[in-house]
Every structure is written in structure tokens, then in C-alpha cells.
Amino acid sequence: MEKRRAAIIALLLVGAAPSLSTICSFVLNDGLASQVIFVITKLWLLCFPILWFLKIDGGTISWSKPQNGGYWMSIGLGVAMSVVMVGAWLLLGDAIDAKLLSDALEPVGLMDPQIYLLATLYWILVNSLLEEYVFRWFLVIKSEELVGQGAPAIILSALIFVVHHTVALVVFGFPWWANLICSIALFIGGAIFSWLYVRYRSVWIPYIAHAICDVAVFGVGAIILF
């Protein structure tokens, strides 16, 4: 029971941070304040899991080197999910309010094409890896401690992964039905990423699929905004 209680605390402290960051940034609606909150949140997500793992779990640092393959599986799933996302945008993209989206991004400078490009590179090369480190490695392990291995842990970690994306889509002005569709798709994507981690036990394998999906997401975003 003590181990499960600790897992709940870890899940709450890590899982809630991105949503709180998004909400605070939206409420303040200030470029500098939003950037400060963004940096603090990323530092929290980077430092808290490894400190917990080392100090409380008694673990040792590892680079999560893939030992069981999985590269082609990850590439294939990443491409397949990207095709589905682009297809959904082609069918439903007219429902997205580009003005509302640009108004949400303007305070943090993302309506500048050069900054948008730099942000895209950051999200693909750094943020996606950070999310795999947090949501697949740490939160999958904690989900396994709380609800058991296999499907229960995959589902729980995917649900936590969806929450802050759903909050962000509300902030960016997506209509409720589009948010619902995106949230379902994100849950499926999160479950696939978690399954890849559980299957291959390396954050690098789901990261490949995640990065491919982000290329599609930011590519579509650029078309909408510019």
C-alpha cells in the first residue's frame, strides 16, 4: 500500500504540471510570464522524475539504450499516425479558427515564422524526447506500480498524457467536438507510445514515432497560420 500511495503522489506531481502550466500561461496572457512558467515547468518535468527515481526508488541512471530492436515498428506507427492526422485535418480543418489560434500564439512570439521554425525544431528534437522520458518512462513505471503491468498501465499513462493536450486545445480555441476528436486521437497515440515503451523498454523507440507525428502536427500548423 505504501508503494501505491507513493506512486499516486508521483503521478499527481508530474502529471498535473503541464496542465497547470498551460492554464497559468493562458490566465496571465503575458509573453514574458508565459515563457517563465514554460521554463519552470520543463525544469520540473526534467528534474523531478530522475530525482524521485534516484532518491526514493533507489534506481541508477541509464541512457535507455534499445536492446530489443523496435526501430521499424516505431517508424511505421509514426508514419501511419501522421497520415491519419493529416487526413483528419483535410476533412475537418475548416472548423479550426485560425484567428483564435494565432491570438493564443501571438503573446509567446510564435506568429513570427522564424521563431515558429525554431519552436518546431525544439518540440521535435527536445520536447518530444522529454515527454517520452516523463510520460512513457516515469509515468508508465508509476502506473505499473499503481494499477499493474500491461494494459492497465498503458491506459492510465495514456489518459494522463491526454489531459494537458486537451487543456491546450481549449486554450487554442478548438471547438468542443474537434477537441473531443483530437483527445481521442491523442489517447490512442499515447497508448501506442506507451505500448512501444512497455514492449521495448526504451524511451528512444516511442520517441521516434512521437517525433514523426510532431513533424506532421507542426507542418499542418504552419499551413494554418502562415
pLDDT, one tens digit for every residue, the chain (226 residues): 588 899 999 999 999 888 888 787 776 666 677 778 888 988 999 999 999 999 999 988 888 888 888 999 999 999 999 999 899 888 876 766 677 677 767 766 777 888 889 989 999 999 999 999 999 999 999 999 999 999 999 999 999 999 988 888 887 777 788 788 889 988 999 999 999 999 999 999 999 999 999 999 999 888 888 8
Going by C-alpha positions, the residue among 140, 181, 138 that lies closest to residue 159 is: 140
- Identify the pLDDT of residue 97: 67
Q: Is 157 left (phi over 0), alpha (psi -120 to 50) or beta?
A: alpha
d(CA 17, CA 5): 19
In sequence order, the 6+-apart residues with CB closer than 8 A to the CB of 200 are 66, 67, 68, 69, 70, 73
Residue 193, pLDDT score: 96
Q: Which residues, in sequence order, are CB contacts of 152 under 8 Å at separation 6+?
A: 143
CA-nearest of 135, 170, 173, 171 to 155 is 135
How far apart (Å, rounded) are the C-alpha atoms in residues 201 and 17? 24
CA distance 141 to 154: 10
